[in-house]
Every structure is written in structure tokens, then in C-alpha cells.
């Protein structure tokens, strides 16, 4: 029986208590909208990243991996248009100084302000202000400023003293990882010699000076993206775009997200270079509804043309057979690793009653679970049991993350592993010493099975595959 209880506060406190996620710099009072990942958080995040990488790179023959630097030449972001216009509209409460996203305020009144002009936003805000409908989300005051553009770009002083920072010499922290992919397009073509269509994939950090970021790891100022840019001839765009929409949708189903919790959001207002833009949304219980986890967008030849124009480099592609020379068009799949992390926690966090007691369990795909097995000696003061259990733990550790636990009753040890989503607990008891078997208990069903120690690794490998 699953109860509707996953509030954002509850998820954040669960993630902290069980070593998944901590607020950054907590001993100094914390740094707003920046988070650290603890032991289990790091393991889970790595597993999600690997699951993405496997499907996007390893299982394919047309995608190549990249790990480009976070710091890039300042012209990159001039060419891409980010310096000029990577903004969000901001309004401030004059009383309590709370910052708010103007487009989000309008959306709460059913007004679509996605990519809308400041003019449009202020006109709509004025109408609502006259009716005293626009209120500060924190103190309720109606005393709020008009909207102004707020740049999301995060500046650094790399290579120049802070006091001479200017727009000309500032080096930004990348606001998205795909910038590195466009800049390495030529090197990738010259070194790997791929034929169109092909993709370049990378996972890495991105930074955005988000105006409002109070949604735990859903929206943070430092986050990780898993992006793939697919280069193709424009005549293939429609077919490949549909292909990638289908591939990405199925990835979520593959890892246990129910289809009813997924939604396509179609962007009605498109960037000037785009012909299609859809987002995959997940129905977050902790955020009260469908929110974007991944964008699948066409980008035309905008990126390569712009970087070619600003760098003077020829970024065209020549088809060996037809000899046609053209600038490849791009479509991208852009997923947020941290948002998808929150999605898997939100989807799998379950509270249920077992024999009159509350059981918290992360019912997630076993391949994503941070720890795969936990080995327990029935009693910690019986050296022969401890020794046998250690032997099994050491064997399993070579294959995957395994834990060894001797403290508390077996029931308590099960509960600790349930909370972090460990699929299998293995108990060594007195019988094990004579029948060379152990009890294997499965997380979701709590069913127990006796398995011969010599068959254990094979059995678990099959179950975890």
C-alpha cells in the first residue's frame, strides 16, 4: 500500500538522513540551491549516468563520447547568443525582497509566458496587478516591481583579476554542456571520421544563476546534464527526430517509470532556429505535478553556422558519395541528471506497513540501486558465521557494491537496506555452515529463498542483469 506522502521536504530530509544528498557548505549555513551528493547519492547518480551512457553511446554505433572543459573561450557564448539573451524575467517584492520568476507567476494564472518578450510579460503583469492578483510568493505583499531581464550566466575571473572583469574578458561557467560539443565537432570529425548522421554525447556540470531555486535538486545553480547532439542532413531531420523521441521515451520505461507518469510537452513558441521542441515531463509527486526532465529539440544549422562565423573555421561536411557540401543540422536530447535522480527517488520511495510496522523502501530498478547486495551473519558474536559471511561479502564486492552489516536484529538490517533500495540481502545462519546455503531475501516481495553458496554469484548476476 503506497501512501501519497512524498512532499519535497520529506524527500530532502530522507535524502539527507540516508546519505544521498546534503545542502552544500552546511556547516557555514549552506549555499542556496547547491547540493553535495553523499555515498549512496554518488552511487545512484553514477548508475543513472551509466544507464544513460550505455543506451546513448555503448549500445550504438553512431554516437561518440566527449568530455569537454567547463571553461571555454568567451566568444563561445557570444556566438551562441547566451551573452545577449540567456535571461529569465525577474520581479522583486519591494517589501521582503523575495525574487520571483515573472513567467512562472503568469503561468500560475494560466498565461503562457514561455520565451515571451518583456513587453508582453509586463503588460500581463499590469493587468493582474490592477486586480491585486499578483502577490509576493513569500510575504503576500502586492508591492512588486515590474519585470526585468536577469542573466543566468555565471561569471568567473579565470585569467583576469576580479577588479577588471568586463563583458569582453569574462570567462563564463558553461550554462549547458552542448557548447563543448559544437566546438569539438571538427576535431571529432577529423579524428573519428564518422559518417552523417552521427551524435556526440557528454555528461557534465553546467551552471545557471537561477532566479528562484527552492525545489531541492530539481532546480539548482550547479547541476549536471546528459546531452547528445545528433548531426544530420536536413532532409533526415523529421525521421531522426521521431526516432530519438521514441528512443528517449522508452529509456524511461526501461528503467521502471510508469508510462502514465510521463508526458510530452510541446513548445508552442520556438527559438528562431528550431522547427520542433518537445520536453519529456515526469509527474513528480513531491512537486505536485508534471515537470520537465528532458528536452528534445531541433536546432537547425544555427550552432555550427554561428561558431563558424565567429571563429572563421569551416564547419561544413562533405558527403563522400554525393560530394554535397553543407553545414549539418542538429537535433539534441538534453536531460538533467539531478532532476532524473529526483525522479527516480520520487517514483520509488514507498512507505508501507509490514507486520504492524512502517517499512520505507526504494522500489527502483535493480540496475540503478546504489548497493546491490548486503551480507549479514545471523549473530555478530559467532566468529564462524562472521567469517563465512565476510567470505561471501568479499566475493560479491568484486562484482558490485556490497555491504556487510552485523549491527542490530536481522529485521533492522533489512529495513536499513530497504531504505537505500538494496535488492538482495543475504543471511548466513548456523545451517549455512553445514548445508553450504544462505537465505536470500528480495527487497520488493520480501520473499526468502535458500541458495547454495556455490550458485550464489550466478543466481544474483542473473537477477541483477
Q: Where does this chain bind ligand ATP (CB under 6 A)?
A: 176, 208, 210, 219-220, 223, 225, 292-295, 334-336, 338-339
Q: Which residues of 214-251 are buried (b: 16+ CB within 10 A; e: fewer)?
A: ebbbbbbbbbbbbbbbbbbbeeebeebbeebbeebbeb
Nearer to ligand ATP by Cβ, of 184 and 279: the residue is 279
Task: Supply 53's cell numbers.
Answer: 551512457
**Least Cβ distance, residue 44 to ligand ATP (angstroms):** 16
- In the complex, which residue's CB is closest to ligand ATP? 336
**Least Cβ distance, residue 143 to ligand ATP (angstroms):** 27
Q: Is 159 exposed, middle or buried (0-12, 13-18, 19+ CB in 10 A)?
A: exposed
Nearer to ligand ATP by Cβ, of 225 and 298: the residue is 225
**Least Cβ distance, residue 339 to ligand ATP (angstroms):** 4
Task: Supply 124's cell numbers.
Answer: 500581463
**Least Cβ distance, residue 364 to ligand ATP (angstroms):** 19
Nearer to ligand ATP by Cβ, of 81 and 194: the residue is 81
**Least Cβ distance, residue 206 to ligand ATP (angstroms):** 7
- What's the residue count for the chain? 465
Nearer to ligand ATP by Cβ, of 179 and 197: the residue is 179
**Least Cβ distance, residue 113 to ligand ATP (angstroms):** 12
Nearer to ligand ATP by Cβ, of 223 and 376: the residue is 223
**Least Cβ distance, residue 436 to ligand ATP (angstroms):** 49
**Least Cβ distance, residue 335 to ligand ATP (angstroms):** 6
Nearer to ligand ATP by Cβ, of 223 and 284: the residue is 223
**Residue 230: beta bridge partners?**
199, 331
Instruction: Please give the Cα distance from 397 to 24 (Å, whole number).
Output: 30
- Helix (H) / strand (E) element for 249: namely helix 237-254
Instruction: Please give the Cα distance from 93 to 295 (Å, whole number).
Output: 31
Instruction: Please give the Cα distance from 441 to 451 (Å, whole number).
Output: 10
Instruction: Please give the Cα distance from 454 to 183 (Å, whole number).
Output: 52
Cβ contacts of 101 within 8 Å, gap of 6 or more:
88, 89, 90, 211, 212
Question: What single string gives the DSSP state of each residue in 100-114?
Answer: EEHHHHHHTTT---T
Helix (H), strand (E) counts: the chain: 15, 23
The SS3 assignment for 411 reads helix
Nearer to ligand ATP by Cβ, of 215 and 308: the residue is 215
Nearer to ligand ATP by Cβ, of 346 and 429: the residue is 346
* Nearest-5° Cα angle at 422, 362 to 372: 140
Amino acid at each position: 500500500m503506497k501512501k501519497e506522502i512524498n512532499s519535497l521536504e520529506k524527500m530532502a530530509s530522507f535524502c539527507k538522513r540516508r546519505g544521498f544528498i546534503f545542502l552544500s557548505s552546511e556547516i557555514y549555513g549552506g549555499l542556496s540551491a547547491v547540493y553535495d551528493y553523499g555515498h549512496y547519492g554518488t552511487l545512484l547518480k553514477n548508475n543513472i549516468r551509466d544507464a544513460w551512457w550505455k543506451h546513448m553511446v555503448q549500445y550504438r554505433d553512431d554516437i561518440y563520447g566527449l568530455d569537454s572543459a567547463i571553461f571555454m573561450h568567451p566568444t563561445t557564448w557570444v556566438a551562441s547568443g547566451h551573452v545577449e539573451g540567456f535571461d529569465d524575467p525577474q520581479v522583486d517584492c519591494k517589501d521582503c525582497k523575495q525574487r520571483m520568476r515573472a513567467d512562472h507567476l503568469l503561468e500560475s494564472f494560466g498565461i503562457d509566458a514561455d520565451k515571451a518578450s518583456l513587453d508582453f510579460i509586463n503588460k500581463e503583469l499590469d493587468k493582474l496587478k490592477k486586480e491585486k492578483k499578483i502577490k509576493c510568493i513569500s510575504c503576500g505583499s502586492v508591492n512588486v516591481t515590474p519585470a526585468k531581464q536577469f542573466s543566468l550566466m555565471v561569471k568567473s575571473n579565470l585569467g583576469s583579476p576580479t577588479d577588471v572583469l568586463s563583458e569582453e574578458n569574462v570567462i563564463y561557467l558553461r550554462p549547458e554542456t552542448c557548447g563543448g560539443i559544437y566546438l569539438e565537432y571538427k576535431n571529432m570529425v577529423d579524428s573519428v571520421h564518422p559518417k552523417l548522421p552521427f551524435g556526440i554525447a557528454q555528461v557534465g556540470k553546467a551552471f545557471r544563476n537561477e532566479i528562484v531555486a527552492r525545489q531541492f535538486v530539481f532546480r539548482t545553480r550547479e547541476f549536471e546534464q546528459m546531452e547528445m547532439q545528433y548531426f544530420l542532413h536536413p532532409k533526415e531531420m523529421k525521421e531522426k527526430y521521431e526516432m530519438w523521441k521514441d528512443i528517449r521515451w522508452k529509456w524511461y520505461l526501461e528503467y521502471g517509470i510508469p508510462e502514465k507518469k510521463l508526458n510530452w510537452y510541446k513548445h508552442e513558441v520556438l527559438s528562431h532556429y528550431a522547427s520542433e521542441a518537445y520536453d519529456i515531463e515526469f509527474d513528480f509527486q513531491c512537486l505536485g505535478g508534471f515537470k520537465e526532465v528532458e528536452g528534445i529539440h531541433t536546432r537547425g544549422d544555427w550552432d555550427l553556422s554561428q561558431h563558424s562565423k565567429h571563429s572563421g573555421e569551416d564547419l561544413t561536411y562533405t558527403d563522400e558519395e554525393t560530394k554535397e557540401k553543407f553545414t549539418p543540422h542538429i537535433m539534441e536530447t538534453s536531460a538533467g541528471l539531478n532532476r532524473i535522480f529526483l525522479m527516480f527517488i520520487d517514483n520509488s520511495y514507498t512507505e508501507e506497513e509490514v507486520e504492524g510496522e512502517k517499512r520505507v523502501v526504494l522500489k527502483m530498478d535493480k540496475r540503478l540501486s546504489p548497493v546491490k547486495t548486503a551480507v549479514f551473519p545471523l549473530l555478530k558474536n559467532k566468529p564462524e558465521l562472521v567469517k563465512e559471511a565476510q567470505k561471501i561479502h568479499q566475493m560479491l564486492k568484486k562484482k558490485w557494491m556490497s555491504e556487510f552489516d552485523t549491527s542490530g536484529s536481522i529485521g533492522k538490517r533489512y529495513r536499513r537496506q530497504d531504505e537505500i533500495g538494496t535488492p538482495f540481502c543475504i543471511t548466513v545462519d548456523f545451517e549455512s555452515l553445514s548445508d553450504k546455503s544462505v537465505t536470500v531475501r528480495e527487497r520488493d516481495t520480501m520473499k526468502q529463498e535458500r541458495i547454495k553458496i556455490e550458485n550464489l554469484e550466478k543466481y544474483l548476476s542473473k537477477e541483477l542483469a
